C-alpha cells in the first residue's frame, strides 16, 4: 500500500526536527538556538516500511507500506529519520553506515538504528585508513613517475573491485545501486 504525500511529509518532518528533535546549535559566546531550515541537509525518498520497522507496537494494520522517508541532518551533525509522520530514529553521531544507507535510500528499522550511532566498526575504519593511504601513495607515484601507466593501474583497480563485487550477494549489490553484470 502506498501512503505518500511528499510535500506534507517533508513539512511535518522539518517542523518536528527544527522545533523538537534536532539538537540545539551552540556557538561560543552565544545563547543556544534552535536549528534553522538553511542550517540543515535534507533528503527525501520513498521506502517500504512495516509497522514493527517503525517501532510501532500493537499497530492495528499489518503489512508493509511505502512511506515518504525524510532524513534531516542538523547543524550539530545529529540526524533524524522520519517515515511518514513517525520519527524512526534520532542519531546523535551518525557514522559512515548511516550516510551509505541514506545514499542507498534504504534505512534500517527502528530496532536496528543503533548501528548508525558512533564511530565506524574497526573493520570499516581500518579498511578506510589503510586503503586510502595505499591509494594515495599509488596515485602520487603514478602521477609523478609513470603517468603513462595510469590507465593500466585503473584497469587493475577495477578488476580488484569486481572480485569484491562477486562476493556480495546479488540482491545486496542491486540494493546498494550496483549493476547486475549478469544482465548486461
pLDDT tens digits along 25-75: 777 778 888 899 999 999 999 998 887 777 666 655 567 888 999 999 999
Burial 134-156 (b: 16+ CB within 10 A, else e): eeeeeeeebeeeeeeeeeeeeee
pLDDT tens per residue across span 69-78: 999 999 989 9
For the chain, list residues with pLDDT below 70: 1-3, 55-62, 125-126, 129, 132, 169-184
Cβ of 6: how many Cβ atoms within 10 Å?
12
| Cβ 85 vs Cβ 9: under 8 Å | yes
Residue pair 180/165 in contact (Cβ under 8 Å)? The answer is no
**pLDDT at residue 103 in the model:** 84
Q: List Cβ neighbours of 159 (8 Å cut-off, separation of 6 or more).
A: none
Amino acid at each position: 500500500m502506498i501512503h505518500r504525500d511528499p510535500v506534507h511529509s517533508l513539512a511535518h518532518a522539518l517542523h518536528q526536527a527544527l522545533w523538537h528533535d534536532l539538537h540545539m546549535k551552540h556557538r561560543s559566546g552565544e545563547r543556544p538556538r534552535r536549528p534553522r531550515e538553511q542550517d540543515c541537509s535534507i533528503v527525501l525518498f520513498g521506502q517500504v516500511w512495516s509497522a514493527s520497522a517503525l517501532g510501532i507496537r500493537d499497530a492495528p494494520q499489518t503489512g508493509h507500506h511505502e512511506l515518504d522517508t525524510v532524513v534531516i541532518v542538523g547543524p550539530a551533525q545529529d540526524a533524524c529519520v522520519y517515515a511518514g509522520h513517525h520519527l524512526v530514529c534520532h542519531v546523535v553521531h551518525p557514522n559512515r553506515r548511516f550516510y551509505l544507507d541514506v545514499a542507498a535510500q534504504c534505512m534500517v528499522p527502528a530496532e536496528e538504528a543503533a548501528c548508525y550511532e558512533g564511530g565506524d566498526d574497526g573493520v570499516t575504519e581500518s579498511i578506510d585508513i589503510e586503503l586510502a593511504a595505499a591509494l594515495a601513495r599509488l596515485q602520487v607515484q603514478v602521477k609523478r613517475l609513470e603517468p603513462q601507466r595510469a590507465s593500466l593501474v585503473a584497469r587493475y583497480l577495477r578488476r580488484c573491485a569486481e572480485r569484491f563485487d562477486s562476493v556480495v550477494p546479488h540482491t545486496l549489490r542491486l540494493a546498494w545501486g550496483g549493476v547486475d553484470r549478469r544482465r548486461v
